Amino acid sequence: LNASPSPTILPMTTAILSALPEEQGGLVQALQAPECITHAGRSFWRGRLLGQPVLLALSGVGKVAAATTATLLAERFGVARIVFTGVAGGLGDGVQVGDVVVAQDFLQHDMDASPIFPRWEVPGYGLARMPCDAALTTMLFEAASAYLTSDRAGFDPNNPAIAHRHAACAHQGLIVSGDRFVSTSAESAALRQALGAAGHQVLAVEMEGAAVAQVCRDYGLPFAAVRTISDRADDSAHVDFPHFVRHVASRYADHIIQGLLRAMPGGR
């Protein structure tokens, strides 16, 4: 049992959570006065970005790992808010590789306690969709839109939207999470169809966000999430995903998170 005292972090610290080290890399590089804290097999980076106190953390992959990390951020580190940045598979019509989706709410697509509870409802919560914090989400959407319309994104030869000859868009809406990498056109069509038939218009799929949203709801912690679309969750997802994660994801995360921190009180 690790009974070490909780490490001190500055008041009003923003936790920035990513699933994979490749999604986090640029932010760690940019950190001022970086300090690494190891706990529960995880590394947490404490420091400042653009004058704001931040704690960079990796959720790991999947809902259980993400819930553990989010719980540590709330209980052990006492952060003021959590912002998730990472990649997702595009499910909605017109949600293309290189676009960005800011979550309005999250649903666990593999939650099914029917017929005792309605499909997708999380027992004990009385709802299927866990909302994100409205004010933080608005700020994050503005930061994402500003990045995509900036020259930086538009002239970056590695930006896949350019290779695909479309202007990258920022979307806002429902993201679904589950413990599966969705990598066939049949599965993504089935997900879109089943959710759509129940009135859930889904934009993107990933593996952690709904777990973090649920933990943040339990603790009353503001939460927002931005996901860059790395693949279309179809038969070529297994090719598109690693390429995108290696070459593009961290650049999007850097610019969008720095835009968000600059807009927050105390940012510069």
Query: Does 206 sit near ligand ADE (CB under 6 A)?
Result: yes
CA-CA distance, 172 to 28, in Å (whole number)?
27
CA-CA distance, 41 to 180, in Å (whole number)?
23
CA-CA distance, 26 to 19, in Å (whole number)?
14
Active-site annotation holds for 231? yes
Q: Which of 105, 156, 208, 231 is catalytic?
A: 231
Q: Which stretch binds ligand ADE (CB under 6 A): 52-60, 86-94, 110-118, 146-154?
A: 86-94
Query: Does 27 sit near ligand ADE (CB under 6 A)?
Result: no
Q: Compare residues 144 and 207 and give the one whose CB is closer to ligand ADE.
A: 207
Active-site annotation holds for 23? yes
> Which among 130, 66, 67 is positioned nearest to 104, based on CA atoms?
130
Q: Which of 23, 133, 156, 208 is catalytic?
A: 23
Exactly one of 23, 105, 156, 231 binds ligand ADE (CB under 6 A); that residue is 231
Query: Does 181 sit near ligand ADE (CB under 6 A)?
Result: yes
Query: Does 136 sit near ligand ADE (CB under 6 A)?
Result: no
Active site residues: 23, 231
Binding residues for ligand ADE (CB under 6 A): 87-89, 181-183, 205-207, 230-231, 233, 237, 241
